[in-house]
Amino acid sequence: MKRLLNICIYIVFIFGIYGAGNLVLTEFFNGGTCPKLLTIPACYIIFGCLIIPFISHIFNKGKIIYFLLTTMAFIIAIYATIGQLFNIIQCPKTEKGIPMCYVSFAIFTSLIGLKIILLRKKV
């Protein structure tokens, strides 16, 4: 069961890093793609909140760092999702027109939930 949970976490991370990485590249070269948080493009923050916990998970170190950064990104995703729903902000969209803040919300909800389940499993 622990192995399956770990595989699920890795899959979610890879999916998120791939998507956020593409968005970061687009933002870097074109600008104006991502909404900004305190003058920093949100996609840069989200990308960091994926890479650092991913490394922490791989080496099974830093549960506090894992939860601190995934929770921070989760809060950003909630804020962006609410903003998108009420047309306050516009999140970048996937090729199918789905706002990426919704995807981010699902990714970080999954990462937090799966890690909690994994940590509660007995060895």
Residue 29 pLDDT: 94
- Greater model confidence, 121 or 114: 114
Burial class of 48 by CB neighbour count within 10 A (0 to 12, 13 to 18, 19+): middle
Token look-up 């099974």 returns 60
Q: What is the pTM of this model?
A: 0.91
Query: Per the structure block, which two tokens stand in for 34?
Result: 């991502």
Q: Which of 98, 123, 114 is nearest to 19 (CA)?
A: 98
Summarize pLDDT for 71-120 with one digit per residue, the tens.
999 999 999 999 999 999 899 999 899 999 999 999 999 999 999 999 99
Summarize pLDDT for 33-86 with one digit per residue, the tens.
898 988 999 999 999 999 999 999 999 888 999 999 999 999 999 999 999 999
pLDDT band at 32 (very low <50, low <70, confident <90, very high): confident
Residue 123 pLDDT: 54
